[in-house]
């Protein structure tokens, strides 16, 4: 079983607002909680449900204007050999902290990468056989583990960096953020000043398309709109929704008054349903691709089957 040695690191915020070694709890609490979420999310992304990383505050210290010592440990163990980066004696918890940039690490870190990118546009990447990705911005490059680089696509991880670094440093009088090894406090592992805080803002993840389905259904017209670009309102007997009519032949007949509508008329149509997952939840959009049949709402009496 792997030795689950804890990862210890000191988080230090500095600036004239902290001259009395005090920090507003409204700034500190979200940042500390974000560090816990960051370690947990990175551990989950790297190792799945084999164990869970928890972070606790060990105590305060007087080096710098305000700082706390934190300890990351494995909460539970269900593992055999999970050192997926093959770094010899590197333990899983220390490995996760190192990849983030909270502990000593021989490769590229997430914080180091974001600091290097500086919101610039990446021009190309090269993947080596050893799993290292060389990322280029013009002639400049940065080497980072392929698996580590994939972590930066996780919005929870990016949001944690924003809460830990950007938001506190945007406060008046807080000028820098640093990580210090408590066993070697002389030189910080990293230090980020206020000017660099914008490099850690979480980008909008955008909308993710999760469904594109086309079916033939019968829809009852609730409201028909004859203005260009306006959507019609329908019901399928279960729910009501707005849909854009994309059938040009049908629209031409409508404009030529060849289609006459009454309340509750029914269209048999080929309907496309698109669904996206957004930051605000699920979004759906309906489109009428083809009107197959227009049926009057007036019911006909079958004279041959009274």
Convert the pLDDT of each residue in 203-218 to its tens digit: 887 777 888 999 999 9
The predicted model gives 17-24 an average pLDDT of 77
Which tokens go with 51?
A: 């164990």
Largest CA distance in the chain: 99
pLDDT at residue 61 tops 80: no
| pLDDT of res. 301 | 46
146: part of which helix (H) or strand (E)? helix 146-151
**Separation CA 244–CA 242 (nearest Å):** 7
**pLDDT band per the 50, 70, 90 thresholds, residue 4:** low
CA distance 251 to 294: 12
For the chain, domains (ranges, CATH) are: 7-200 (no CATH), 208-295 (2.40.50)
The H or E element spanning position 160 is helix 155-161
Residue range 120-132: mean pLDDT, rounded = 91
What DSSP designation does 181 have? B
Question: CA-based angle 208:213:216, to the nearest 5?
Answer: 155
Decide if 117 contacts 108 (C-beta within 8 A): no
* 88-119: pLDDT as tens digits: 334 788 889 999 999 989 899 999 999 999 99
Note the pLDDT of residue 28. Answer: 82
CA dihedral 28, 97, 139, 136 (to 10 degrees): -100
| 180-191: pLDDT as tens digits | 988 887 788 999
How many Å apart are CA 59 and CA 18, to the nearest integer?
Answer: 17
Residue pair 101/111 in contact (Cβ under 8 Å)? The answer is yes
């Amino acid at each position: 079983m792997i030795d689950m040695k804890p990862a210890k690191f000191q988080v230090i915020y500095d600036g004239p607002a902290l001259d009395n070694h005090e920090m507003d709890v409204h700034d500190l609490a979200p940042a500390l909680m974000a560090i816990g979420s960051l370690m947990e999310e990175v551990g989950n992304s790297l190792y799945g449900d084999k164990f869970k990383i928890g972070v606790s505050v060990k105590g305060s210290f007087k080096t710098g204007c305000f700082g706390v010592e934190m300890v990351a440990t494995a909460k539970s163990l269900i593992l055999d050999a999970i050192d997926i980066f093959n770094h010899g004696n590197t333990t899983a918890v220390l490995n996760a902290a190192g990849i983030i940039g909270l502990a000593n690490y021989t490769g590229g870190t997430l914080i180091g990468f974001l600091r290097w990118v500086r919101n610039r546009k990446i021009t190309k990447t090269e993947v080596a056989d050893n799993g290292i990705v060389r990322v280029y911005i013009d002639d400049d490059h940065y080497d980072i583990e392929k698996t580590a680089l994939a972590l930066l696509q996780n919005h929870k991880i990016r949001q944690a960096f924003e809460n830990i670094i950007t938001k506190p440093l945007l406060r008046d009088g807080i000028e820098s953020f640093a990580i210090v090894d408590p066993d070697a406090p002389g030189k910080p592992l990293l230090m980020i000043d206020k000017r660099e805080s914008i490099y850690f803002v979480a980008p909008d993840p955008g909308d993710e398309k999760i469904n594109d389905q086309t079916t033939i259904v019968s829809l009852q017209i609730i409201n028909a709109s004859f203005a260009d670009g306006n959507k019609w309102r329908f019901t399928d007997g279960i729910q009501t929704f707005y849909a854009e009519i994309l059938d040009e032949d049908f629209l031409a007949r409508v404009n030529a008054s060849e289609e006459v509508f009454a309340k509750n008329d029914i269209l048999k149509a080929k309907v496309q349903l698109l669904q996206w997952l957004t930051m605000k939840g699920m979004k759906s959009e309906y489109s009428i691709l083809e009107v197959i049949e227009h049926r009057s709402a007036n019911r006909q009496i079958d004279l041959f089957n009274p």
